[in-house]
């Protein structure tokens, strides 16, 4: 298949481009920079919000994976609301072009405070501008595609375990801290909260497979389906990467709005991967 990927130069995007290429697909990598994009992909230098010609450039794609999103780690930046209408117009424009397989990356933050497993029917009460915007886009797009001839999937991502310095997650910060000078101490909260952690390679494989399957769509959790404490996963990461760093638990209080346990229900992704 010919797969178009927006935000292809980002951390997830560059890894996903490689995953799709290695699986034998052709890739149209869409971004305004190509510093990290695999040179086997066809790079399309375009701003999807301002370049009306991008629709013609992507017209021959069989599938679209929409990852592009500004300031994803700055959860209360107003750009999330500023860009909401632009994401909607881009995605609906691609639907109207007749692309048969389309997915967009969501986030478990759409749900807000919740204890236990999250599935496609879990009520959402987002608590940041980032989460509010993702949630609104999901609602609007799912309504738009209801009567359209398109296989649309909203891929709800969980906590990524990165394996290089481009990651903005706690794991990327651990790597950077271990390489810096001075004290090799890393402050944390209690570490007792349980999350759903997924490695970047597995995340990209799930995104690709979920997008291209013709049988399961709608909201799909891109997840491990297993709750693991932050303490356990961080210590595993430190050991795996042989990091010389001291973890300081209790340096920060647990936030009152953080659930003690939150993870993805993985039934749908297991069906797609042939594991359910």
Counting beta carbons within 10 angstroms of the beta carbon of residue 165, is it exposed (0 to 12), middle (13 to 18) or buried (19 or more)? exposed
Which two three-digit tokens encode residue 274?
A: 């042939």
Distance separating alpha carbons of residues 1 and 60, to the nearest angstrom: 10
What gap in Å lies between CA 37 and CA 30, rounded to an integer?
Answer: 10
Question: Helix/strand/coil (H, E, C) string of 175-189?
Answer: HHHHHCCCCCEEECC
Q: Are the C-beta atoms of 219 and 266 separated by less than 8 Å? A: no
Catalytic site residue from 36, 130, 159, 263? 130
Which element (helix H / strand E) includes 4? strand 2-6
Q: Are strands 2-6 and 26-31 parallel, antiparallel or unpaired?
A: parallel
Residue 130 annotated in active site: yes
Residues with catalytic function:
130
């Amino acid at each position: 298949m010919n797969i178009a990927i927006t935000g292809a130069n980002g951390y997830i995007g560059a890894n996903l481009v490689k995953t799709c290429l290695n699986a034998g697909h052709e890739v149209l990598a869409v971004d305004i920079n190509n510093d990290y994009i695999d040179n086997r992909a066809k790079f399309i230098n375009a701003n999807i919000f301002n370049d009306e010609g991008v629709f013609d450039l992507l017209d021959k794609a069989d599938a679209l994976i929409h990852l592009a999103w500004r300031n994803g780690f700055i959860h209360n930046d107003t750009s999330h609301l500023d860009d909401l209408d632009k994401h909607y117009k881009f995605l609906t424009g691609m639907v109207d072009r007749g692309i048969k397989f389309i997915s967009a990356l969501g986030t478990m933050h759409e749900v807000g405070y919740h204890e236990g497993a999250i599935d496609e029917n879990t009520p959402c009460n987002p608590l940041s501008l980032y989460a509010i915007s993702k949630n609104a886009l999901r609602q609007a797009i799912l309504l738009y595609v209801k009567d359209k001839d398109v296989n649309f999937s909203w891929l709800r991502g969980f906590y990524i375990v990165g394996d290089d310095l481009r990651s903005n997650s706690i794991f990327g910060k651990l790597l950077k801290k271990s390489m810096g000078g001075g004290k090799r101490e890393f402050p944390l909260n209690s570490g007792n909260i349980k999350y759903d952690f997924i490695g970047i390679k597995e995340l990209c494989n799930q995104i690709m497979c979920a997008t291209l399957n013709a049988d399961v769509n709608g909201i799909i959790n891109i997840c491990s389906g297993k709750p693991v404490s932050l303490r356990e996963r961080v210590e595993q990461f430190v050991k795996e990467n042989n990091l010389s760093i001291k973890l300081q638990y209790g340096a920060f209080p647990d936030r009152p709005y953080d659930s003690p346990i939150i993870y993805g229900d993985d039934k749908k992704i297991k069906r797609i991967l042939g594991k359910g």
